[in-house]
A and B are shown apart, each in its own frame.
Chain A
Amino acid sequence: EADIYQTPRYLVIGTGKKITLECSQTMGHDKMYWYQQDPGMELHLIHYSYGVNSTEKGDLSSESTVSRIRTEHFPLTLESARPSHTSQYLCASSDPGRAVGYTFGSGTRLTVV
């Protein structure tokens, strides 16, 4: 069982609402990531963090923002949700003791109506 937790699992919300997707990990990993996954499309990196107070944008332009105040917590926020934000959001972390690979959470499936 993955030690990375995402809440909520499913969210349906109206246009214009502010939302925060939560991601927490108990493994003490410094590096954490947010990916966006749409059906039939490759995973796209939208944000990453290499440690506390470190955040960077990924290769996919996103209107979301992230913060990293604590090692274990990496929330993603949308200030004003739009239907174009409808997607699955996956949070991941990487173990410095392992050559490659992420541990992914189960994802948040967001629908903006």
Chain B
Amino acid sequence: QKEVEQDPGPLSVPEGAIVSLNCTYSNSAFQYFMWYRQYSRKGPELLMYTYSSGNKEDGRFTAQVDKSSKYISLFIRDSQPSDSATYLCAMSEGGTGNQFYFGTGTSLTVIP
């Protein structure tokens, strides 16, 4: 069983839509939950992270963690064509220096 499962998509939405991206995981020891954005022909960049359960908001982006269900989500409000990218979730038991486990990524296209 994979540590992290992520729906690969692809996901195509009209501009302005609310996007929901999700990952599930099996390791209950995971405490750090991250979302990376990867544009074509670029490396992933850290979008936001959450420690333990709860929500975190940053502009149009909201990350949610439900540890009881082992389920995390990233919501994008008012999606823009510039949000078109692959979004990868990642998790770890500890912070920097610990091994991160990545999802396979979800490809998102926002159509103008």
Contact = CB atoms under 8 A, between A and B. Distances in A.
A4 B44 CA distance: 12
A101 B41 contact: no
Interface of B: 2, 4, 6, 8, 32, 34, 41-46, 49, 51, 88, 90, 92, 95-97, 99-105
A90 B41 contact: no
A99 B45 contact: no
Interface stretch (A41-49, A61-69, A74-82): A41-49
Contacts of A104: 43-45
A102 B46 contact: yes
**Interface SS of chain A: helix, strand, loop or mixed?**
loop
Nearest to A9: B41
B51 A105 contact: no
Interface residues of A, number: 26
Contact of A31 (B6, B42, B88, B97): B97
A99 B51 CA distance: 9
Contact of B101 (A41, A42, A94, A105): A42
A42 B96 contact: no
Contacts of B100: 45, 102
Contacts of B4: 42
